Structure 1
């Protein structure tokens, strides 16, 4: 009768080991699901940052255009100033 309980105990331990692996696997899956959710959150964050960056690019383009316009204005003022100098 002694070997039977040992076999049952061994089998029980093996089952527990398998169960432990399943649990470990489930925990890993849960971890990856959490990481995926986190990744989705980060993707959303980067999309927002990209959109913000696009907005800033547009703003800087407008500022550059405005700056070009101001340069042109100052060029005209300089020309006008040169003309005034010539009069005086």
Structure 2
């Protein structure tokens, strides 16, 4: 249950990254993943146990952001195009 926030935050970050021009996506994604990963660790209270939970939350946010970006781009493009029969 504690990992729902980083997953949701990553998906939202990915959707926002789809709106940003390509030259800034990597920088904005890295900064956003770090900030949201730290926020996820603090909100869940995991920092009280140890800050090493950042090593889980930051990559989780980054991976979900990448998945969100890919999903939004696929939805905008119309998804996978069916094959045309030959002949």
Q: Which has the higher contact order (CA 8 A, sep 6+)?
A: 2
TM-score under structure 2 length normalisation: 0.32
Rg larger for = 1
TM-score under structure 1 length normalisation: 0.32
Give 1 or 2: higher helix fraction: 1
